[in-house]
């Protein structure tokens, strides 16, 4: 191997590594390129399939036309014979035989082209399914990559933190929470012994006593009414 051949191989190696590095750093672009390439081939395949379908439809139309013509000739031949038109009858018979042969050929060709069209359509559908599969794979793989990168970043962040610093920070937070809780307890305790609290307590008791007195008065009035009604009833009865 000559110097330039070896140099070319080295350059190809560097180029391959460079491309691989770019691909690894841009997986989405690689997937998009692969998907776009398949879409392009799908369009080409669809065009080819349309050609086969067109040929099938054309053959079908030609076969139907000849079958229709044959049916008409089959009706015309007896008429020509009855009319004594032997020459016309012979021409019709020859045309009939030619049509029968042509129809047989077209039927064989149609079966062949129809089978090709069905195979081509199945291939087209399968190719489309492959494109959709590749799209799903792209989303799944990019999600896995993002997840892995996030986990690595979190791990690197955690590894970069000092354990002592974490413990100290937690202790400071716990202490501040305990102090805040003690401050709230003091406020509650002071509030229970304050003048406002005592006044509220007295007001509540007074309101309760007033309500009780009103209730007792209502009971007395109701009892007096019942007694008066009973007495009135008794007097009326004696009369």
Given a contact cutoff of 8 angstroms between Cβ atoms, the answer to whether 103 and 63 are in contact is yes
Query: What's phi and psi for 35, nearest 5 deg?
Result: -65, -45
DSSP 1: -
CATH of the domain at 93: 1.10.287
Would you say residue 9 lies in a domain? Answer: yes
Interval 153-212: pLDDT, tens: 877 776 665 556 666 777 777 787 877 787 776 666 555 555 566 667 667 776 677 777
Would you say residue 196 lies in a domain? Answer: no
Would you say residue 197 lies in a domain? Answer: no
Write out the two tokens for 87: 């020459």
Would you say residue 178 lies in a domain? Answer: no
Q: What range defines the domain where residue 120 resides? A: 3-160
Query: What percentage of the chain exceeds 90 in pLDDT?
Result: 18
pLDDT of residue 181: 80
Q: Can you tell me the distance from the alpha carbon of 137 to that of 179, in angstroms, rounded to the nearest whole number? A: 54
Would you say residue 91 lies in a domain? Answer: yes
Residue 28's contacts (CB-CB under 8 Å, 6 or more residues apart) are 138, 142
Rg (CA), the chain: 52
Would you say residue 165 lies in a domain? Answer: no
Q: How many structural domains is the chain composed of?
A: 1
Would you say residue 183 lies in a domain? Answer: no
Interval 100-146: pLDDT, tens: 999 999 999 999 999 988 888 888 888 888 888 888 888 888 888 88
Would you say residue 17 lies in a domain? Answer: yes
Within 13 A of 66's CA, how many CA atoms are on the CB side?
19
């Amino acid at each position: 191997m000559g110097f330039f051949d070896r140099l070319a191989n080295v350059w190809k190696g560097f180029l391959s590594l460079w491309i691989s590095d770019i691909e690894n750093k841009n997986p989405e672009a690689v997937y998009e390129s692969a998907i776009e390439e398949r879409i392009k081939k799908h369009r080409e395949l669809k065009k080819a399939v349309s050609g086969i379908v067109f040929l099938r439809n054309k053959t079908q139309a030609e076969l139907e036309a000849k079958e229709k013509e044959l049916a008409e000739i089959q009706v015309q031949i007896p008429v020509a014979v009855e009319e004594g038109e032997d020459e016309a009858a012979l021409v019709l018979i020859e045309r009939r035989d030619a049509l029968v042969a042509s129809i047989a050929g077209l039927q064989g060709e149609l079966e062949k082209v129809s089978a090709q069209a069905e195979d081509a359509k199945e291939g087209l559908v399968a190719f489309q399914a492959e494109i959709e599969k590749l799209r799903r794979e792209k989303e799944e793989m990019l999600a896995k990559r993002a997840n892995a990168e996030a986990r690595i970043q979190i791990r690197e962040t955690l590894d970069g933190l000092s354990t002592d610093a974490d413990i100290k920070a937690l202790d400071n937070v716990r202490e501040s929470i305990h102090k805040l809780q003690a401050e709230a307890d003091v406020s509650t305790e002071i509030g229970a012994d304050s003048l406002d609290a005592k006044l509220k307590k007295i007001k509540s008791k007074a309101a309760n006593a007033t309500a009780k007195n009103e209730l007792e008065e209502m009971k007395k009035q109701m009892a007096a009414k019942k007694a008066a009604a009973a007495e009135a009833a008794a007097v009326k009865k004696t009369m």
